[in-house]
Structure 1
């Protein structure tokens, strides 16, 4: 590392102002296979006509934005075109500095042909960090084969409002769980060499926006900010050494995160010790001028972001570049600060080995392997949450099955908003980018049912027409409503679906979401909801099919929880699948027939109504109002999930219910599979601070363990929780551990508590100056 810093310093001394600033920007180019280039920009004058390559890259460039993930081109042929740009930078610019490449990677490399893993909601619902680490590694391997140096994931936003479109990008509503999963993903993605670097986003509080609306202001106080929304970021920064952090678009109490020095420099860099790159979200800096209006021009906007601690704009060829140069001339930024930022970028380039290996090895690109597909299926299977079941599942006795619903045979219904089919719609439509291994639910269910008759009737559609052009960054959003993809209101197919249900022994009804950004889908970035009823006419379809009185299994394929009151009261079973990726069809089909026993637990509360938003299980006691509003609460609580088997819990023991502030609690229990098939149980540990100097949540998850058990098998699960975990950031902005009593609760969900015991920390209050222990540990032993 020191050698790389010295090399970067030597290069820095040779650079002009223009060359320095060029390293702090990224060019978003639509790179044609024929070498043609088109610059994607927003919020400023168009580039001049002429040699685009010389104008954009002539002084060098920090990064290339989505060089694969902007066009639906073959990856190997696209790599050749990218290599030509690197060759230009090496041969035609004065200093010959190659560019870093970054891509989206939330559910896999967002590149045609790459494996599409399930959504982050699915990752969280597995309650298995090691599995999420395996996914991160698989994604990192594909990115490395593509020559990509930075991945734009994970999302560490803590879910709060089911109406928010980006909910599907999160690990759920618990900050501790988000932090643990984020650590696993980052460690897997970056590997030992921290290459490619992960990007934590969106720093911070992006999920707490007004009304669950994208980019809307956020109203949270400093203690809630630190204790809830910043906690996952702090955990991952301190434990996993991520290479990058991306501030969010919104403002908090009038200060945009993009220009918030107290968050970016004071908290992130100084207090937590973050040493990577701070990168601007797409078009975030220009929004300081156009939308937030805290800057009078581009120079002021650039200076505000830069002085807050921003290192590089992703993307922004002219905004940060021209703005910073003008800001330097005006004295709004200093030469020394500019040099420090450029040094960080250059040093990261040396760390990534881009000087020694500037070109992509085209023959080494490896995407969409059978091994990765098998992992995608495994994650999907382990993430499925059985919300309700009267014994209808698994479908072992059905003589005939009706399959209904608009998503049952949809080619890309199971993919998240940041996946290839949603973004890279090729010349022949989104189907062109669907992985070869992917199967629809209809195709997969038909295979596993074998000779059992399967009748398919969609009943309705979500959309009447296809989206002709993907919208995937703010500059694409149309000002007028005619650009919005409209939901279908056609109910003519419901009668056929009802007839299929009547003539079959059991009906599987697949309903939910199709992801798409900026209102081109029912969920996804900018596709926020004003209701938690199923989109389109799916509720009418559901009511009609349930009214037949025949057994109905509802399969919810979605990026958010829906109220579905008719299903909750009348359906035989409900299986929540979230957005399970390319292996989702297989995972769902295998689970329906009993080849997989669902063991996932929901990491989102299923609210009773949209009016209760925001809602999370770890709310404050007075959150429901007084008198408590009847619609406040959950239909299915955080941590809930059923199984095809039963589990018996026994012999709960707390070794030391009273400890000092530098000690650890130790407790254990035995879990036994009391049923007739193998399955997984998730043991969840919650803590409640009984008296504190500030208002604390009614309970908080602080440990968990997923355990697999065969029929009759039992295992001993032992937890260790350091006292530090009971600390919080108080009103004086310091983290403190206060002595007192706590309620330890061990349960099958946040509401289904099996064991509870009062524990205590004794001694004096303890203030943490920097480091603190935020992770619990668990061990599992066989019982003989």
Structure 2
């Protein structure tokens, strides 16, 4: 007896059970239609004939439809890939090597997305192109403000078409942005990646990524374009907000945890490591600009986090960057994409292009003559999928005819794409249940609050903080970011990202500082005055690429940043009428100069944008105690005001629970425990500046503007800690198996509980290559009650003392290494030395990459 499933067209896995001599089966034909039937166990031939009659298809056709090995989930993936690949035409293979960026419709009336940045696929030919199949669908829910249920239905409709109305029924892989939460309407908006870093809490970031993965999976997302592993070198760079900071080891640890959390144990959601590699050390800190790096520094600093995430977390995808390194574009670098990633590290996932990165090979870099050659260069180098569309992949037939790429290379690439689709289970489960969409759940919102609290960095405090809610003080809440929800989130949050397309989105989930402070202190205690605005209007339209202007050398564009001072007087009056002023200053994230920080929103100054410095000076001049809180995507300098403030803090971009977190810390409900992961330079003239520089970076003679006012690792709380009792288990370490074991005491000397972040740095005293003045090798968050002491032990494998030699290999050399332990890179009260003995050793693929810590409270 045969029954057609009520959800016909939604393919389900073949199931076979036997009960009382009868078989209960569920079957999917080539078109994807689902049937369920029960019949006596009378043999396969009569069974298939009965099914064929029921579905009104010829027996031979139905038998053929069910006989392909690639359709059988019980077969090994390698066998399924080989079978499917052998059945594909060259056009169907090429279709798996690119994406389409579409505005999907529940009715199936999909349309191509078009703008000056991404270009567009041919709308007229879209249906015919889709019949060939599709490798990926670009941001189906993240490209516009669509209700999640409607978006999921539209995505299911596309997958249904691909399964039922294409010759081979290959589903598409769906990707979304997800660095600070899945970037779709209704997704939880977590704090920025800089905030992730300043928590110094890998376990928390793994939980955050797990929560993001839950939301992404519930929307049918198979690949998330995160995390960003760029190592900050120059905070003028707009994308500083997307980084975990300026230390490669800390970034590598956090990246490993983020990837593990996002992907889960099964790697059923691919994390994407980007931007591979060196993107953050661009010429002049400008977006897309060339990178001037030698292979040793590239490996020691910039490749390290990627290597850690690939080897330790089995990252599923990597995205090359837009720039060139030593005149070789990353998108066409066989050395980076194949030799390093696949051959040396054993990476087995997908390499996907950054948006239009393949096109830029002929449009900007000038290493390809046209789209066909650009595609050939990228795919021969190691690329698997062009994103976000088919600008160049569509021309691969032409590249084949010219001999610029071979069909064998295309088969190799398509095999990797199909392998991931089979491994992810897309053929068996291409659809998502619209009734199980899981956004903004209590766990995700609680994690967003915890990250915002733990990433709050207190830099100065004369004792005014914490400011008790029952103090009776009148509080002036001042500043352009005090009540602007978009000032609390990063450029890759959904509402900010939409600005580039002149669209808006709901921001009701974002709690501003003003709202948070009113909750804690009450409306009657608060006087609010914005004081100024940063941008009078948020809009797209700035030139993006060099080719967008006729002659960059004579370019004369006006800054959109407001210089209006008319609101300052009212802010000063509010401060005079209050007991204390809390001034919120900073920047606004926005892509391509729709903001003052973010992708394509680089800066030439580290002064606060617009007239915020004048506002802050005017409020300080009232003589009232001033607490300044800097929000945004990079640190700023206050030109001497730092030490005239009662307190100074950096909250960066604290996400949707920003106001709650800031109010909790300022009131003392939560303790400030964030520590800087980007140094705050004394002057923009110090740029590029980072703590792990080389000795000669200071210049000769040393420039007066060099150095950091608030260094990497710095941050204070509402109590104080002391360090003592350093002991090193062994001063002589074997170069093969040795491990630094350093133990010391931390005591909470104050009258309230707090969190200290203990840090261990190493300095190589004599090496075969120039080394940084110090490098972070271990860290631990230590929570202590008032008067409590803990014994902290760090274990650092000798492998972590490596450097890169002239052959581009990691080696460990014998010699003396100085250990420096303390609360920041510039404050290291405990020091010792160890001597590594033996012969120079080249590290193998699986070298020991991480230190460990243990904490014993007394």
Q: TM-score range by the shorter chain?
A: over 0.9
Task: State the shift of 1:496 in Å.
Answer: 0.7
Alignment map for 1:27-106 (pairs within 5 Å): 27-32=100-105, 35-40=108-113, 47-48=121-122, 50=124, 52=126, 54-106=127-179
Query: Secondary structure of 2:762's partner?
Result: strand
Matched, 1:575 2:649: yes
Structure 1's unaligned 5+ residue stretches are none
Using a 3 Å threshold, how does the CA distance of structure 1 residues 567 and 233 change in structure 2: closer, same or farther?
A: same
The answer for the alignment partner of 1:616 in structure 2 is: 690
Aligned partner of 1:207 among 272, 280, 302: 280
The answer for the alignment partner of 1:695 in structure 2 is: 770
**Residues of 1 paired with 2:547 and 2:673: CA distance?**
40
Larger Rg: 2
Query: Secondary structure of 1:227's partner?
Result: helix
**Residues of 2 paired with 1:516 and 1:11: CA distance?**
44
Using a 3 Å threshold, how does the CA distance of structure 1 residues 110 and 403 change in structure 2: closer, same or farther?
A: same
Please tell me whether the aligned partners of residues 500 and 591 of structure 2 are also in contact (alpha carbons under 8 angstroms): no
**Residues of 2 paired with 1:275 and 1:327: CA distance?**
26
The answer for the alignment partner of 1:737 in structure 2 is: 812
The answer for the alignment partner of 1:379 in structure 2 is: 451
**Residues of 2 paired with 1:476 and 1:28: CA distance?**
23
Query: Secondary structure of 2:593's partner?
Result: coil
Using a 3 Å threshold, how does the CA distance of structure 1 residues 112 and 649 change in structure 2: closer, same or farther?
A: same
| Greater Cα offset, 635-644 or 394-403 | 394-403
Q: Deviations over 1:621-651 (max 9, x none)?
A: 0001100111110010000000001112222
Alignment map for 1:126-141 (pairs within 5 Å): 126-141=199-214
**Residues of 2 paired with 1:2 and 1:697: CA distance?**
52
Higher relative contact order (CA 8 A, sep 6+): 1
**Residues of 1 paired with 2:511 and 2:120: CA distance?**
43
Aligned partner of 1:336 among 390, 397, 408: 408
The answer for the alignment partner of 1:588 in structure 2 is: 662
**Residues of 2 paired with 1:570 and 1:751: CA distance?**
22
**Residues of 2 paired with 1:49 and 1:76: CA distance?**
25
The answer for the alignment partner of 2:489 in structure 1 is: 415
Query: Secondary structure of 2:379's partner?
Result: helix
Using a 3 Å threshold, how does the CA distance of structure 1 residues 14 and 722 change in structure 2: closer, same or farther?
A: same
Task: State the shift of 1:693 in Å.
Answer: 0.4
Task: State the shift of 1:528 in Å.
Answer: 0.2
Using a 3 Å threshold, how does the CA distance of structure 1 residues 371 and 162 change in structure 2: closer, same or farther?
A: same
Alignment map for 1:160-239 (pairs within 5 Å): 160-239=233-312
What RMSD, in angstroms, separates the aligned Cα atoms of the two structures? 2.1
**Residues of 2 paired with 1:429 and 1:309: CA distance?**
36
The answer for the alignment partner of 1:282 in structure 2 is: 355
Using a 3 Å threshold, how does the CA distance of structure 1 residues 683 and 241 change in structure 2: closer, same or farther?
A: same
Matched, 1:465 2:540: no
Matched, 1:761 2:836: yes
**Residues of 2 paired with 1:262 and 1:771: CA distance?**
20
The answer for the alignment partner of 1:312 in structure 2 is: 385
| Greater Cα offset, 31-40 or 523-532 | 31-40
Matched, 1:362 2:434: yes
Matched, 1:773 2:853: no
| Greater Cα offset, 641-650 or 101-110 | 641-650
Task: State the shift of 1:14 in Å.
Answer: 0.3
Please tell me whether the aligned partners of residues 538 and 595 of structure 2 are also in contact (alpha carbons under 8 angstroms): no
| Greater Cα offset, 584-593 or 665-674 | 665-674
The answer for the alignment partner of 2:14 in structure 1 is: none
Task: State the shift of 1:371 in Å.
Answer: 1.8
Task: State the shift of 1:474 in Å.
Answer: 7.1
The answer for the alignment partner of 1:155 in structure 2 is: 228
Task: State the shift of 1:424 in Å.
Answer: 3.2
The answer for the alignment partner of 1:626 in structure 2 is: 700
Q: Deviations over 1:168-192 (max 9, x none)?
A: 0000000000000000100000000
Alignment map for 1:658-697 (pairs within 5 Å): 658-661=732-735, 662-697=737-772
Structure 2's unaligned 5+ residue stretches are 1-73
**Residues of 1 paired with 2:277 and 2:98: CA distance?**
22
- Give aligned pairs, total: 778
**Residues of 2 paired with 1:87 and 1:139: CA distance?**
26
Please tell me whether the aligned partners of residues 670 and 716 of structure 1 are also in contact (alpha carbons under 8 angstroms): yes
The answer for the alignment partner of 1:652 in structure 2 is: 726
Matched, 1:747 2:795: no
Please tell me whether the aligned partners of residues 118 and 356 of structure 2 are also in contact (alpha carbons under 8 angstroms): no
Alignment map for 1:476-555 (pairs within 5 Å): 486-555=560-629
Task: State the shift of 1:669 in Å.
Answer: 1.2
Query: Secondary structure of 2:452's partner?
Result: helix
**Residues of 2 paired with 1:659 and 1:644: CA distance?**
39
Q: Deviations over 1:467-507 (max 9, x none)?
A: 3x699997998989999881111100001111111121110
The answer for the alignment partner of 1:706 in structure 2 is: 781
Query: Secondary structure of 1:375's partner?
Result: helix
**Residues of 1 paired with 2:834 and 2:668: CA distance?**
41
The answer for the alignment partner of 1:124 in structure 2 is: 197
| Greater Cα offset, 160-169 or 709-718 | 709-718
The answer for the alignment partner of 1:246 in structure 2 is: 319
**Residues of 2 paired with 1:440 and 1:325: CA distance?**
53
What TM-score does the superposition give when structure 1 sets the normalisation length?
A: 0.96
Task: State the shift of 1:536 in Å.
Answer: 1.0
Task: State the shift of 1:46 in Å.
Answer: 5.9
Aligned partner of 1:599 among 662, 666, 673: 673
Using a 3 Å threshold, how does the CA distance of structure 1 residues 775 and 2 change in structure 2: closer, same or farther?
A: farther
Task: State the shift of 1:419 in Å.
Answer: 0.4
Task: State the shift of 1:458 in Å.
Answer: 0.3
Using a 3 Å threshold, how does the CA distance of structure 1 residues 598 and 57 change in structure 2: closer, same or farther?
A: same
Task: State the shift of 1:437 in Å.
Answer: 3.6
Please tell me whether the aligned partners of residues 724 and 830 of structure 2 are also in contact (alpha carbons under 8 angstroms): no
Matched, 1:403 2:477: yes
**Residues of 2 paired with 1:477 and 1:193: CA distance?**
44
